[in-house]
Amino acid sequence: MAKMKRRITARGLLRLIGDVGEFVLPLDKMAPYRWLHGEVPIKGLDEYFPSVVERVGERLLREGYVEKRETAEGVVVKITEKGKRRVLLFKLEEMKPKQGKWDKLWRVVFFDISEIDKNKRDRLRVYLKKLGLKQMQESVWVGPYDVGDEVRYLREVLEVPHGVKLGLLKEVENERELKEWFGF
């Protein structure tokens, strides 16, 4: 029984291109998509309608997320810097609250982001909340688990590397309230 073909989304194709780097869309429509450097087929891409992959690829090209060039083997598709930034934003949306055993230390994230970058500041708050941190003051967030790597990633992707700081506290004045917030 033949396997049913599926439709691919722009987000899915951009993530795939971000993962594999450059790849070739062959001139022969029956040939498999493959990595640029070698004959290794791209696993899973053959599950999609070639016409849909082509149409979605054209949309990504128009929006500046990929670039392509014609070669004798086919069309080489490569992600752009704008596309790489977009893929990083997709990863932000996958952030989830940390869980596990609490080590009795409080993580504090505090920031000073200017009004000019209000959009970045608001997005930072959304992601801090997704990480499970609680807002103590306007620009001060606290949580019981180590979110250092995630916060460093956030400040780079949101392009506010100097406006966001991390702290580690053994004790805090309103610890009883915090313990209740986090269910300890």
User: Chain-centre distance of CA 90, in angstroms?
Assistant: 3
pLDDT tens digit sequence for 132-172:
999 999 999 999 999 999 999 888 888 888 999 999 999 88
Whether 98 contacts 147, CB under 8 Å:
yes
β-sheet bridge partners, residue 25: 75
Q: Are residues 101 and 153 in the same domain?
A: yes
Task: Supply 133's token pair.
Answer: 């941190």
Distance CA 34, CA 183 (A): 50
- DSSP 8-state assignment for residue 134: E
Predicted confidence (pLDDT) per residue in 4-36, tens digit: 666 677 877 778 777 777 767 666 555 555 555
Q: Are residues 76 and 114 in the same domain?
A: no
Q: Which domain holds residue 76?
A: 10-91
Tell whether 4 is covered by a domain.
no
CA contacts within 13 A on the Cβ side of 142: 18
The closest alpha carbon to 127, from 85, 170, 156, 84, belongs to: 156
Domain count, the chain: 2
- Claim to verify: residue 99 and residue 178 sit in the same structural domain: yes
Closest C-alpha among 183, 179, 155 to residue 88: 155
Same domain, 155 and 83: no
Residue percentage of the chain with pLDDT more than 90 = 34
Which letter, b or e, does each residue of 93-111 get, where b requires 16 or more Cβ atoms within 10 Å of its Cβ? eebeeeeeeeeeebbbbbb
